């Protein structure tokens, strides 16, 4: 069962498992599509309705995907779906995924935390009451950790204090109300594991880039969304779109912000490897899910070089950082767990020209240009007239 199965990662994940003969059901309430109506933005790639996608997959891939339309914060709905489908594994993408969106104002902050935390609590109770052997695969974020001045471990850290030692959850200093909601999720899942024995893998994912997977590339009707706006587009997505339309690359501040990154194809690998290798009975485990590490400046330089190879004149123009974050910092995060399971990474340098820039060129007329420069300020929102969904 894929929660958020109409989304950027959820839809390709559903196809990935269906192509490998798993029985797949997707759950979605189309909130991501409504966010864009609210904000006046849109996916760069023209995406079909979920029903059209499912029918296209039936024709092209020969697979059946069940569809359940509803909100996982509505417990009677979620309970019924889980009770009827009885999943062996639940892949949980079904959350509001944007840090800037959560920082717009009080309403958007509260909506984000209620939506994300209550949804995950409902999933935990549905598993406990109806499918206690189910493996919960929860998409967390590397942003839960923040940017500590020590190496980031995979979920847990061994601590010695006053002559005693223990293995404890790694300290978390998130940078937005969205990232805080993910921290709350992790604590709630870990607690449910300790008291109910629910099997869970928390995938603290880095920044995902890319547009195509093996399955979405089979037919235009199967393509996933590609966001580039300040709320839902990552820095790399924004830079690639800016390069194609001739806009300077908007590096935030000093550009030393460092994060882990991975190709969307590698997200598929990671989730599939996790599902195929479930944790031991009563185990809660954490994997840091990324393959490469870059500063924002390094990303911008990569896009400049890739743009040059594609015949684009690309330049960098730093702007004042709208966020409250450290613009230069130490960052060294461990990420061995998924590699040990067999992850074979795709590299960013191999992806930019061939796939991302070419696809953006194809759809550049769909760019909403007045959403290129950030308007949401961490200290106070600069967007007016936006109401919570």
**Residue 163 CB contacts under 8 Å (≥ 6 apart), including other chains:** none
Spot the catalytic one: 178, 209, 228, 261. 178
**Residue 106 CB contacts under 8 Å (≥ 6 apart), including other chains:** none
Residues in the chain, overall count: 389
> Is 359 one of the annotated active-site residues of the chain?
no
Between the alpha carbon of residue 293 and those of residues 8, 60, 208, 270, the distances in Å are: 22, 36, 12, 17
**Residue 14 CB contacts under 8 Å (≥ 6 apart), including other chains:** 2, 5, 24, 26, 65
Spot the catalytic one: 73, 138, 172, 182. 182
d(CA 203, CA 283): 14
N-to-C CA span, the chain? 25
Task: For residue 153, count CB atoms less than 10 angstroms from its CB and return exposed for 0-12, middle for 13-18, buried for 19 or more.
Answer: middle
> Is 178 one of the annotated active-site residues of the chain?
yes
d(CA 3, CA 1): 6
Evaluated on CA atoms 299, 304, 309, 312, the torsion sign reads positive
Nearest in space to 223 (alpha carbons), one of 363, 371, 350, 97: 363
d(CA 140, CA 253): 26
- Helix, strand, coil: what percent of the chain each, to 5? 40, 20, 40
* Three-state DSSP class for residue 299: helix
Spot the catalytic one: 141, 147, 216, 359. 141
d(CA 15, CA 268): 10
Task: Give the other-Cβ count within 10 Å of 386's Cβ.
Answer: 18
Return the structure tokens found at 240: 């690639």
> Is 182 one of the annotated active-site residues of the chain?
yes
Q: What is the DSSP letter of 278?
A: P
What does residue 115 show for φ and ψ, rounded to 5 degrees?
A: -60, -50
What does residue 167 show for φ and ψ, rounded to 5 degrees?
A: -105, 115
d(CA 94, CA 73): 10
Q: Give the catalytic positions in this structure.
A: 141, 178, 182
């Amino acid at each position: 069962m894929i929660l958020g199965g109409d989304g950027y990662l959820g839809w390709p994940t559903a196809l990935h498992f269906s192509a490998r003969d798993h029985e797949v059901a997707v759950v979605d309430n189309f909130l991501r599509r409504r966010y864009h109506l609210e904000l006046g933005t849109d996916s760069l790639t023209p995406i079909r309705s979920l029903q059209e996608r499912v029918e296209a997959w039936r024709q092209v891939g020969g697979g059946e995907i069940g569809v359940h339309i509803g909100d996982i914060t509505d417990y009677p709905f979620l309970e019924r779906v889980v009770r009827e489908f009885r999943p062996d594994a639940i892949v949980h993408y079904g959350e509001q995924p944007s840090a800037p969106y959560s920082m717009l104002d009080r309403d958007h902050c509260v909506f984000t935390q209620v939506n994300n935390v209550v949804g995950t609590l409902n999933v935990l109770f549905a598993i406990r009451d109806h499918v206690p052997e189910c493996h919960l695969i929860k998409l967390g974020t590397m942003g839960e950790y923040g940017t500590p001045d020590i190496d980031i471990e995979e979920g847990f850290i061994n601590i010695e204090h006053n002559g005693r030692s223990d293995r404890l959850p790694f300290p978390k200093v998130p940078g937005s109300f969205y990232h805080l909601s993910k921290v709350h999720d992790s604590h709630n899942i870990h607690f449910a594991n300790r008291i109910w024995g629910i099997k869970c893998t928390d995938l603290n994912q880095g920044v995902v880039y890319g547009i195509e997977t093996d399955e979405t590339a089979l037919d235009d009707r199967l393509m996933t969304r590609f966001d580039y706006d300040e709320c839902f587009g990552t820095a790399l997505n924004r830079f690639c779109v800016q390069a194609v339309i001739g806009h300077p690359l908007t590096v935030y501040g000093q550009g030393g912000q460092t994060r882990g990154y991975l190709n969307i194809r590698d997200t598929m690998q990671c989730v599939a490897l996790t599902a195929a290798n479930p944790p031991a009975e009563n185990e809660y485990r954490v994997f840091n899910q990324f393959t490469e590490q870059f500063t924002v400046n390094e990303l911008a330089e990569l896009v400049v070089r890739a743009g040059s190879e594609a015949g684009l004149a690309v330049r960098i123009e730093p702007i004042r950082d709208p966020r409250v974050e450290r613009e230069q910092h130490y960052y060294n995060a461990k990420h061995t767990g998924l590699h040990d399971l067999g992850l074979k990474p795709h590299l960013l340098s191999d992806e930019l020209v061939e796939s991302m820039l070419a696809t953006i060129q194809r759809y550049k007329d769909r760019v909403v240009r007045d959403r290129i420069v950030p308007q949401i300020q961490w200290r106070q929102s600069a967007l007016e007239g936006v109401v919570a969904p």
